[in-house]
Amino acid sequence: MSNVLPRNKIDNKFKWNAESVFANPEAWEGEVKSILESLPALAKYKGHLGDNAATLADGLKAIEDISLRAYRAVVYAIFSYQVETTDQKAAAMAGKAQGMSGQVSAAVSFLAPELIALGESKLNQWMKDEPRLAIYKHNVHNLFRKQAHVRSSEVEELLGMLSEPFAGPTNSTSMLSNADFKFLQARDSKGKKHDVTHGTIGKIFAGADRKARQTAWASYMDKHLEYKNTLATNLASSISQNVFQTRARKHDSTLAASLHENNIPIEVFHNLIDVFKKNLPTWHRYWEIRRKALGLKELYPYDIWAPLTKKKFKLPYTQAVDWICDGLAPLGDDYVKVLRQGCLEDRWVDIYPNMGKGQGAFSWGAPGIHPFIMMSYTDEIGGMSTLAHELGHSMHSYLTWKNQPLVYSEYSLFAAEVASNFNQAMVRAHLLKKNKDKNFQIAMIEEAMDNLHRYFFIMPTLARFELETHTRAEKGEPLNADALIKLMADLFEEGYGGKMKVERERVGITWATFSHLFSDYYVYQYATGISGAHAIANRILRQEPNAVEDYLKFLKAGSSMYPLDALKMAGVDLSTPKPVEETFAVLANYVDRLETLVK
């Protein structure tokens, strides 16, 4: 816990394959310069996309070509910054990339208004006449579905130009949290000190030493409380931007605006919250089982990850890759081969913690390059679980890019969390079946509960927080630090059901520790995603006919269909509460099994 190396001391074989994207930062600088110099060439298509079908096809290709180049350049810059947020050159690259991206967005903003001006019937005819346009059928349908919320070309150009200045609150919070925050060291029961960073905090919380957990928790939350007013101002500004965008595009609410993008009915969101609230007693029971198993008089939030067995299972990175591949074997040799090569040969993963590395883990990339994973791997079951999760995203991207044109090369956040949680569910089921050792069973169920705690407790709670804060902003009510802390503390107290000792200030600042809240209505999709994941995994584990084939079709679909339809193709209907209820049944089963194991 105390040996976090500077990045220049990490062996390159453990770092993401940056040189496969650009040979060096100088090459990246040259590409950014070239992209910006190419933008004026797009002007010849402005006002002329409707001349004829061939011109439209040419214009679309030109727009896609420069957009893809910009996409790759942004990935390189942002990833370079995230793995070392204290590197000022990388920070400058990230800022420059965002500026360039904003200029590209503004330069291509004429596209949607001109397509709408052509009309759906004419575009349908052109797609029949010009083979190069045939692939855009779903895209055109989606465009006209959203037509009421697309503004004039001048307004769209202005909205496109807002991406850079609107990134201010996000960038400010990231720089404050990742680069400027210096947390006090934690101290364990023997007086030994441990560095507290975004990369190490999880490992300390998962340790057996309660004093280390308590002091790390205090250090981490108190640092955020120290800057609560700045952090609250940034979040309130981001929410205000969401309200502005909602009104600019004439939506009824920020929730409706966010869900409209992927054609998700608002009932999906409310179904999740309703089922979550109804099943809170399952969580209350889990807290009580955990308190008794740990032999504690009172359970605190920093005890949520404390190990329930003293036996440690050391799990080096290569062993984790092997276990993940074993668990995903039902998907076929081709899937497993690509995954293994990405992890062990092609350097998809930036593996280990280093000083200045950003918090959390994510997978990102672009067509034509690898999907890359940033994480801080620890040699334990939790690290394997995170790796399996991010590999779900990476394989989703890999198969989408391999099977879809650029226009459908991205998938929605709503679909993304299905693939990641599916991997975890499959690996978990395999290992629980394979190893019947009591301590291993407890460790694996703890891993499952950690994941479900994040996705099926934290994220729905944050979603409730998000809905309330946006509703207040829409009414013109102020969002200051104290109001945000009170709201968050109230929601967590309800979720803990009197089974947890709540330090309201420290629990209430939880919102400041989640950068996800800068992407409006992102977090609920973690809970719907894990619901879809378990429903699909159950189909495959039950060996239902065509279950594997259906799931692989979903992974290959990208955005060529609406996410609810893609999931229906995989055998899951998230427009109903059933998948959410099914996953709460999985949760309840784990609680039952854990209660038996720890007695």
Q: What are the helix and strand counts (H, E) for the chain?
A: 27, 5
CA 449/CA 333 separation, integer angstroms = 30
Catalytic, out of 156, 390, 410, 447: 390
pLDDT of 322 reads 98
Amino acid type, 389: H
CA angle 302–303–308, rounded 5-degree value = 150
Interval 248-294: pLDDT, tens: 888 899 999 999 989 999 999 999 999 999 999 999 999 999 999 99
Element housing 349 (H / E): strand 349-350
> Any idea which of 46-55, 63-72, 233-242, 330-339 has the lowest mean pLDDT?
233-242
CA 520/CA 510 separation, integer angstroms = 17
CA 212/CA 218 separation, integer angstroms = 10
How much of the chain, in percent, has pLDDT values that exceed 90? 84
Residues 564, 445 within the same domain: yes
pLDDT of 1 reads 40
Any domain includes 330: no
Among 166, 182, 214, the domain boundary falls at 166
pLDDT of 360 reads 82
Residues 132, 82 within the same domain: yes
Among 166, 201, 217, the domain boundary falls at 166
Any domain includes 399: no
**314 pLDDT higher than 80:** yes
Interval 523-548: pLDDT, tens: 999 999 999 999 999 999 999 999 99
Mean pLDDT over residues 372-386, rounded?
92
Looking at every residue in the chain, the average pLDDT score rounds to: 94
**Reported pTM:** 0.84
pLDDT of 174 reads 84
**422 pLDDT higher than 70:** yes
Any domain includes 550: yes
pLDDT of 527 reads 95
pLDDT of 529 reads 95
Residues 432, 580 within the same domain: yes
**2 pLDDT higher than 70:** no
Interval 90-148: pLDDT, tens: 999 999 999 999 999 999 999 988 999 999 999 999 999 999 999 999 999 999 998 77
Q: Between β-strands 349-350 and 372-374, what pairing exists: parallel, antiparallel or unpaired?
A: parallel
Q: Which of 149, 131, 16, 160 is nearest to 405 (CA)?
A: 131
Length of the chain: 599
Q: Which of 594, 565, 597 is nearest to 265 (CA)?
A: 565
Residues 22, 107 within the same domain: yes
Interval 139-198: pLDDT, tens: 999 999 987 777 777 887 787 787 778 888 888 888 888 888 999 999 999 999 999 988
Question: Per the structure block, which two tokens stand in for 298?
Answer: 């009172």
pLDDT of 72 reads 97
Interval 481-490: pLDDT, tens: 999 999 999 9
pLDDT of 480 reads 96
Residues 437, 554 within the same domain: yes
pLDDT of 166 reads 80
Considering its fold, how many domains does the chain have in total?
Answer: 2
pLDDT of 498 reads 96
Mean pLDDT over residues 211-240, rounded?
95
Residues 262, 123 within the same domain: no
Residues 234, 144 within the same domain: no
Backbone angles phi, psi at 462, to 5 degrees: -65, -35
Interval 3-57: pLDDT, tens: 789 999 999 999 999 999 999 999 999 999 999 999 999 999 999 999 999 999 9
Any domain includes 183: no
CATH code, 145: 1.20.140.70
Any domain includes 340: no
CA 232/CA 226 separation, integer angstroms = 11
Any domain includes 505: yes
Among 151, 166, 181, the domain boundary falls at 166
11: DSSP letter: -
Mean pLDDT over residues 362-373, rounded?
97
**493 pLDDT higher than 60:** yes
Q: Is 89 exposed, middle or buried (0-12, 13-18, 19+ CB in 10 A)?
A: exposed
> Any idea which of 95-99, 163-167, 422-426, 468-472 has the lowest mean pLDDT?
163-167
CA 572/CA 576 separation, integer angstroms = 9
Residues 115, 205 within the same domain: no
**Residue 390 among the catalytic residues:** yes
How much of the chain, in percent, has pLDDT values that exceed 70? 100
Mean pLDDT over residues 547-551, rounded?
97
Residues 476, 587 within the same domain: yes
Residues 82, 125 within the same domain: yes
Any domain includes 527: yes
Residues 586, 457 within the same domain: yes
CA 494/CA 1 separation, integer angstroms = 33
Residues 259, 141 within the same domain: no
CA 202/CA 212 separation, integer angstroms = 12
Domain range for 520 is: 192-313+412-599
Number of Cβ atoms within 10 Å of the Cβ of 253:
16
CATH code, 521: 1.10.1370.20
**460 pLDDT higher than 80:** yes
Any domain includes 380: no
